[in-house]
Structure 1
Amino acid sequence: MKTIRLTFESFRFAWQALRANLLRTVLSLLGVTVGIFAIIAVFAVVDSLEANVRQSMSFVGDKVIYVQKWPWAFGGDYPWWKYFNRPNPSVQEFRELQRMLSTENQRGVALFAARGGNTLKAGNNSVESIALQGVTFDYRLVSDVPVQEGRYFTAQEMDAARNVAVVGYDIAHNLYPNGSALGKEFRTHGQKFNIIGVMQKEGKKLLDTPSNDTNCLVPLSAFTKIFALSIGNSGGAQATIGVKGVDTDPGMLNLESEIQGAMRTIRGLKPREEDNFALNRPEMLANAISQLFSIIGVAGAVIGSFAILVGGFGIANIMFVSVKERTNIIGIQKSLGAKNYFVLFQFLFEAIFLCLLGGGAGILLVYLITLIPQDAMPIFLSAGNIALGLTVSVVIGVLAGIIPAVLASNLDPVIAIRSK
């Protein structure tokens, strides 16, 4: 009980000292405010930038392995000549792969192909530069299809090559601005399609990546009536096979080895022959993004640490001045029976208070920045960054105040009283 009371008294003395020198207190915490603002602002911007980049790349899906002709690569030399003569995935290979893969390691297998630069017309309205994408029934398992209005394709519509479509928000709004586009028709490449579903609006992305807002999904069988699927290196739309993994297969290692074995069997490759297909995974892209932003985060932290270092020196200097000014009071307190830790806690708490106030002000400034409307890249302040800012403030307070506090606690009461 006595320890709690003395600790509370230390807090009270520290608070009174800060209030008594309000101007000095404000000037002292400015350095910490700038330092914490710099560090947390950098981390908030980096986190927001990474989240927006990942959202922009969300079209590649999660826990998906793509069977394609070209392997993904990020930086460095790309030996394209090694892959140029590879065949593209075909409908027959998709069916064989769908039959050969076990249900234990995959949730769905889909074949899809896309062609951009299409024009859709409905009456006097039209939209241009639209991505027309032909998909098989399990495409919704491989990739997210957020249907807001209407429905997805049925298996019967897929098999019968019906001219039906699930369109993005911008397409529906531009073709039918005065009402719902559901159940309405549009024409493209001489074919008439019926709109059975409208996807949710994604809005503007930070990167210029494919968006559902300007995407038009149709059954693959209807797509092939307009475009021929590429065979070998001939013209046409290049198809991709996507396989959705399961949560019980960490890293999708079992699925990857199973797909590799099945594709080698389908293409009749001999044991010594290299794969003539690529197995691409979104993790490759995610790892590249993580490495990039980890470097940016470290660089930002180093820059911000210089600002917080200056603030820490400012707090330490003020604490030395405070000890000098209150030497006589310290002597009186110790002569009345105050223990060394009581005096130490006074100055240590005062330094921590200063840093917490400065850190809180810096975090508040970052929060105010997040309130500024941003369409392309909204900035957010996470709970982790707030906790980091407050933790750094406390650490700086302890480091800046420990030496002055120890010097104050070790003062001889007689000499301290006679100092004035």
Structure 2
Amino acid sequence: MRTTLSLLGVSVGIFAIVAVFTAVDSLNKKIRDDIDSFAGTGVIYVGKWPWIMSNNYPWWKYLNRPEMKYSEFKYLKENLTKASAVAIIDGGRTINVSNGSSSMTVNLNSASYDYNQITSIPVFTGRYFLPIESENGLNVVIIGAKVAENLFNGLPAIGNTIQLNGIKFQVIGILERKGEDGLSMGGSPDEKVFIPYTTFAKSFQKFQPSADFGFKAFDNDSHQEELEAEIIGLLRSLRSLKPKEEANFSINRLDGMNQFFDSIFTTLNLAGALIAGFSLLVGGFGIANIMFVSVKERTNIIGIQKSLGAKNYFILFQFLFEAVFLSLIGGVVGLFLVFMITLIPQEFLPMSLSIANMAKGLVISSIIGVLSGIIPAWFAAKLDPVIAIRAK
């Protein structure tokens, strides 16, 4: 009972620290998957606003920048030599969608035809836009899974007509169900609709465009910097910017966002480790107390061992191994508790206990065992065998 109660400190400490590591790793993976989902891998985006906001964010300067124009998109698409795909995107606006009998609020997005080559548009049933639909601004729409469910209630949606703010559109595709997305702007991905950019510009954009250009290099790794330099050169020339004049557009890449989140997750891991460290400290004192009591109770046995020829290092490692073993038992219990939490179904943040975090938990347990047991073990190893045998 005494040992079990003392090991609770280690179990709680390992549970806390491994749970923090697991939660942070799961959140990290979720966010990076979401980034890749909406932005694509190895893609360069050009827009009016930068994605990363610094401490001294000069929003007034960015506010006065010119909007990205469709004519600029066409110019870059025709003149870029390092890009395998070029797309223009806009949207993120809330509108009303209905089919006459049902209605709901959705997030409207638009993109040119090449957008599905830059990032994944997972169409579950139906199809993606055709080039002629994208170029001519036809009223076709791809709807999210929840939109199809709410409007059609299990009935076939492909080929039917819906209204976006009163404008009729033909449904040509339904997106795969994705669930909650930590980076989604304007609601769940399942509540989004996609239309061709030219249709969006004609019917919804009016005098408030906020388009971004997306570019993907032929080779994501080796040609991305060359593509970025080519984009900057062509766009500066098109906008008649002088060599020393500051660019009036922003280059956004995923590595910038990844570095931003890296710093956040490093801080979260450090903060979580410090908080959990207090529990481990209590657990370490508990094990040290057990070992001191154990040495006291087995003093005469230690004396007998030493009188029969046991070396000091044998006695030291005997008690040190016991301390590490006890600490590892507490660590395994803590890991088991974390594993049980990962079995709970969670749609927004699925958690999984990785081998690396399990190893961290066991290594930390071992270190706590060594630190807690080294002094009692050293004290036992230094006992005089004659005095130890006489101990009661």
User: TM-score with structure 2 length normalisation?
Assistant: 0.90
CA displacement 1:139-197 (0-9 Å, x = unmatched): 01222211112221222332343322221111111111132322322123454322221
Q: Give distance in 2, aligned partners of 1:303 and 1:227.
A: 50
2:64 matched residue in structure 1:
85
Q: SS of the counterpart of 1:195?
A: strand
1:205 aligns with 2:184: no
**In the alignment, what sits opposite 1:63?**
42
Which residue in 1 is equivalent to 2:377? 405
Q: Distance in 1 between matches of 2:130 and 2:246?
A: 39
| Matched letter for residue 116 of structure 1 | R
Find the counterpart in structure 1 of residue 285 from structure 2. Answer: 313
Where does the alignment leave 5 or more consecutive residues of structure 1 unmatched?
A: 1-22, 230-234
Once the two structures are superposed, what CA deviation does each residue of 1:51-81 show, in whole Å capped at 9, x if it has no partner? 4444555523332221112223425343233
How far apart, CA to CA, are the structure 1 residues paired with 2:166 and 2:11? 64
Other-structure match for 1:277: 249
Task: Within 5 Å, give how 1:182-221 maps onto structure 2.
Answer: 182-206=158-182, 209-210=185-186, 211-221=188-198
**CA deviations over 1:220-277 (Å, ceiling 9, x no partner):** 2322331346xxxxx2332211112455536943222221111112222222322121
Amino acid in structure 1 at the alignment position of 2:60: W
- TM-score normalised per structure 1: 0.85
Which of 305-314 and 341-350 deviates more? Answer: 341-350
Match of 1:169 among 145, 154, 168: 145
| Alpha-carbon offset, residue 406 of structure 1 | 2.9
Q: Which amino acid aligns with 1:219?
A: P
Distance 1:208 1:108, change over 3 A: closer
C-alpha change, 1:348 and 1:379, in structure 2 (3 Å) is same
What is the distance in 2 between the residues matched to 1:107 and 1:291?
Answer: 32
Inter-CA distance 209–383: structure 2 relative to 1 (3 Å threshold)? farther
Alignment-derived partner of residue 368 in structure 2: 396
Alignment of 1:67-146 (within 5 A): 67-103=46-82, 106-114=83-91, 116-128=93-105, 130-146=106-122
**1:124 deviation in Å?**
1.1
Pair 1:361-2:333 in alignment: yes
Aligned residues: 390
For 2:286, the aligned partner's letter is G
In structure 2, the gaps of 5 or more residues are: none
The structure 2 residue matched to 1:325, chosen from 276, 293, 297, is 297
2:155 aligned residue: 179
3-state secondary structure, aligned to 2:49: coil
CA shift in 2, pair 1:321/1:123, >3 Å = same
Q: Tell me the equivalent position of 1:351.
A: 323
The reply to whether residue 290 of structure 1 matches residue 296 of structure 2 is no
Distance 2:189 2:180 in 1: 11
Alpha carbons of 1:81 and 1:335: their partners in 2 closer, same or farther (altered >3 Å)? closer
In structure 2, the CA distance between the partners of 1:53 and 1:314, relative to structure 1 (3 Å rule), is same
> Match for 1:30: what amino acid?
L
**Aligned residues: percent identity?**
49
Q: Alpha carbons of 1:55 and 1:91: their partners in 2 closer, same or farther (altered >3 Å)?
A: same
Give the AA of the match of 1:380: S
Q: Check 1:409–1:250 CA distance in 2 against 1; reply closer, same or farther (3 A cut).
A: farther
| Change in CA separation of 1:419 and 1:85 when aligned onto 2, cut-off 3 Å | closer
SS at 1:369's partner residue?
A: helix
Between the aligned partners of 2:213 and 2:183, the Cα distance in structure 1 is 25
Distance 1:89 1:170, change over 3 A: same
Q: CA deviation at 1:335?
A: 2.8
**1:67-97: per-residue Cα shift (whole Å, max 9, x none)?**
1122234253432332333221222211211
Q: Show CA shifts across 1:327-350 (max 9, x none).
A: 211222233333444333321111
Moved more, 399-408 or 384-393: 399-408
1:343–1:85 CA distance, 2 compared to 1 (3 A)? closer
Tell whether the 8 Å contact from 2:44 to 2:216 is kept in structure 1 after alignment.
yes
| Alignment partner, residue 18 of structure 1 | none
